[in-house]
Chain A
Amino acid sequence: MLYFTRWKAAAIILTALVVCLCAVPNFFPASVVDSWPKWAQRHIVLGLDLQGGSHILLEVDTKAVRREKLTSLMDDVRRTLRDARIGYTGLVIRGNSVEVRIRDAASVDQALTKLRTLSQPLGGILSATGQNSLDISRDNDLIRLTVTEPAILERVRQSVDQSIQIIERRVNELGTVEPLIQREGSDRILVQVPGLQDPTRLKQLLGKTAKLDFRMVDTSIPAEQAQGRVPPDDELLYSSTQPRTPYLIEKRVLVSGADLTDAQPGFDQRTSEPIVSFRFNTSGARKFAEATQQNVGKPFAIVLDNEVISAPVIREPILGGSGQISGNFTVQSANDLAILLRAGALPAPLTIIEERTVGPGLGQDSIAKGKLSSYIGAALVFIFMIMTYGLFGLFANIAVAINVAMIFGILSLLNATLTLPGIAGIVLTVGIAVDSNVLIYERIREEVRAGRTPINAIDAGFSRALATILDSNITTFIAAAVLFYIGTGPVRGFAVTFGIGIITTVFTAFTLTRLIVAYWVRWWRPKSVPI
């Protein structure tokens, strides 16, 4: 156990050295590290609890996705049957299905053939699953088209992907450093933005669907009288500002927000109120020009997320493809609306289901306290070890110090996030690492008592203790691994450092501690073991 070939010793020292060196970038300011080669830049990221910031978990509104999918299916069915000139009645959404009754029994088969074209195989060409987006069944003259569960899930997945892109654009407009935006599970999005003092604005930007439509106002009956008997092609919407005035708005959309190419905040030249000016793309500009030409003198409405922002009267046709929205904005809200319009609308509403924000002051306190407690804990342990084992205690302390340096090296290599519970994990690793040395030394003490020669005792002590160290650390590692897989946030941060700590502990116990003792034995040729 005490003999190391020269290359083996070199390999051990080199491994430890390289891993420790990986921690170096953490000790330099970011501006210095940026000029280093890419591979040397890996460093530990401070968690939001240490540097301050917001952690926001969003969930896609699956019900809205389902509803939207069914509504568009109903439109498709209507269009298909109309195009094929098949008479139908009672086109309705029922549960997860769209149902339609065909008037003429003779054309049911024809209708069925036509409607079957609406169903598509799921998963595209590459990963065909053999499932279709629709289940179509027939019950005499009733045809039922059911949206399959995989189709909904697929749509939710797409919504999440699109939402992530749009959120990225929105968050980047805030000019924050290193925001993290990623998918969580099937229908969730995690947004982590470091260094925000007040997340209110971020949440406002995230929570808005930002679905913008230009639609006509129905002036045939006053909106106040329309309550309770809204014409089928209209809906009753309210203004976004107080008092909430009702408007009767046509369901038909003249131009939608998807046709916008740009939106910028600005000021109205006459009233110097904050406004948002926008520009349409070619097709949007053409549609808008047509609509305004036909409706001079009538009001139209700018509708954002089912609220009327403003309903101006068209004074003259707007042909240039650009315009402005005014509606009691502040400078900030005009700016935010411009951001939202540029980034585009979310495919489905998002709900905030979890929020954790840490102010920068608390983060700094936590770092300071984490450091203080680690130093004190380490100092106490080091003193205790030297009191108990003397020179061997010092060896143990060296091994533990290298162990901790290696943990930092590996964390840097993984670009891992260090959280407050993570610091606790490192402190506990110190406990476990010391334990491995204690196991070895106690075994050596026993072997000495059993009457072995010093070198024999050391040798036997190591070989017997290492088996135990392996057993006990594997059991602890299983606990750490489970923590990592099930854990979120704080628990995961703890599991990462704890798990890495166990690995480095086993490594140092098996190699470094042994190597140090082996060299000591070779140089001093001890007559007795000083422990």
Chain B
Amino acid sequence: MRLLRIVPDDTKFDFMRFRRISFPISAIASILAIALYFYHGLNFGIDFKGGLLIEVQSKSGPADIGQMRTTLGALNLGEVQLQQFGAPTDVLIRIAEQPGGDAAQQEAVQKVRVAFGDTVDYRRVEVVGPRVSGELLSYGVIGLGLAIMGILIYLWFRFEWQFALGAMIANVHDIVLTIGFMSVTQIDFDLTSIAALLTILGYSLNDTVVIYDRIRELLRRYKKMPMPELLNGAVNQTLSRSVITHMTVSLALLALFLFGGQAIHSFSATMLFGVVLVGTYTSVFIASPILIYLGVGRGTDALTGPASKDKKP
């Protein structure tokens, strides 16, 4: 059987030359993403905004959303959104946070239950009070920050500070672009989105570290090779691995996205965008070429540091 070779052996693609295109593109995309965040905003779910989320299933055939909207409108619950969710019998109801603290949210749930009575099954009821939502958001942001810090410190120990800085720029770039994606698509931004962001971070770093590992190895082996050529070599040598790994990860994610159901739909969509598109692009076109500017030195601890225990053949 002939085995699949997606990337031909001895590929010699000049990735570093692309930095003159990729850097401006990334800069513009990042600015766009930030602008989107401020002017278009994220579709904050109840985890961060507070309020009610109720998933109901009509007991008698397809749900009549118009009818339900009228029923709910009569309750004076402020902003109410209805949306068909998966099957035609299923409807997702979002109700904005009620004024009057935690008890008011509970009263609203009760009102909805009374209004619909026995005509629907309650598949999911989520109520997040004002205090919890504020905490969840700050925990999420703190978590993202802590994760980036922790990873940077590790990279700093394991490589040189230039690598850590390069990885951080690549990281922030990934997160900014993914947030831009979430703003464009108006995917629900909730707790699972934070999980998705952190996983994208992990994956992208994973990728970056693999290439950095190779860069360090080449730095040690070819003392006189010019930096762009050396970086090109590292990216090309790891290209086959990058492509194959991303193929498998996207296969797994695609299965989650297509068959995993509504509950993890936004999670897997975000991951597909972040891991497959951004993560791969970043480690090849941003994280590696940026080292040219950060001035990775030769003969410093990158060469004599912990990795030098690698046996020479």
Q: B301 at the A/B interface (Cβ < 8 Å)?
A: no
Which residue of the partner chain A has the closest CB to B271?
A: A428
A359–B240 contact, CB under 8 A?
no
Hey, which chain B residues are within 8 Å of A390, CB to CB?
1, 3
Q: A25 at the A/B interface (Cβ < 8 Å)?
A: no
Instruction: Indicate with 1 or 0, residue by residue over A105-135, a CB within 8 angstroms of chain B CB atoms.
Output: 0000000000000000000000000000000
Hey, which chain A residues are within 8 Å of B150, CB to CB?
478-479, 481-482
B3–A387 contact, CB under 8 A?
yes
Number of A-B contacts (CB under 8 A): 241
Q: B269 at the A/B interface (Cβ < 8 Å)?
A: no
A369–B252 contact, CB under 8 A?
no
What range describes how many residues of B lie at the interface? 35 or more
Which residue of the partner chain A has the closest CB to B260?
A: A373
A442–B125 contact, CB under 8 A?
no
Of the listed stretches A65-73, A147-155, A322-330, A490-498, name the one at the interface; the rest are far from the partner chain: A490-498
What range describes how many residues of A lie at the interface? 35 or more
Q: B199 at the A/B interface (Cβ < 8 Å)?
A: yes
A421–B264 contact, CB under 8 A?
yes
Distance between Cα atoms of A431 and B272 in the complex (Å): 13
Q: Given A387-B4, A435-B249, does the pair A352, B213 have CB atoms closer than 8 Å?
A: no
Distance between Cα atoms of A468 and B263 in the complex (Å): 35
B143–A486 contact, CB under 8 A?
yes
Instruction: Indicate with 1 or 0, residue by residue over A351-388, a CB within 8 angstroms of chain B CB atoms.
Output: 11111111101100110011011101110110011011
Known pairs A354-B127, A355-B126, A431-B253 / 20 extra A-B pairs, C-beta < 8 Å: A57-B132, A352-B102, A358-B123, A362-B123, A370-B260, A381-B252, A384-B248, A428-B253, A431-B249, A435-B249, A471-B210, A472-B209, A475-B154, A476-B202, A479-B199, A486-B140, A487-B191, A487-B194, A490-B191, A495-B195
A selection of 11 A-B contacts at a CB cut-off of 8 Å is: A354-B128, A356-B125, A373-B261, A388-B4, A435-B248, A435-B249, A463-B310, A471-B210, A476-B205, A479-B199, A487-B139
A interface residues with partner B (beta carbon < 8 Å) = 49, 57, 59, 198-200, 203, 207, 351-359, 361-362, 365-366, 369-370, 372-374, 376-378, 380-381, 384-385, 387-390, 420-421, 424, 427-428, 430-432, 434-435, 438-439, 442, 445-446, 449, 460, 463-464, 467-468, 471-476, 478-483, 485-491, 494-495, 498, 530-531
B interface residues with partner A (beta carbon < 8 Å) = 1, 3-4, 6, 9-10, 55, 57, 101-103, 105-106, 109-110, 113, 121-129, 131-132, 136, 139-140, 142-143, 146-147, 150-151, 154-155, 158, 191-192, 194-195, 198-199, 201-203, 205-207, 209-210, 213-214, 217, 237-238, 240-241, 244-245, 247-249, 251-256, 258-261, 263-264, 267-268, 271, 307, 310-311, 313
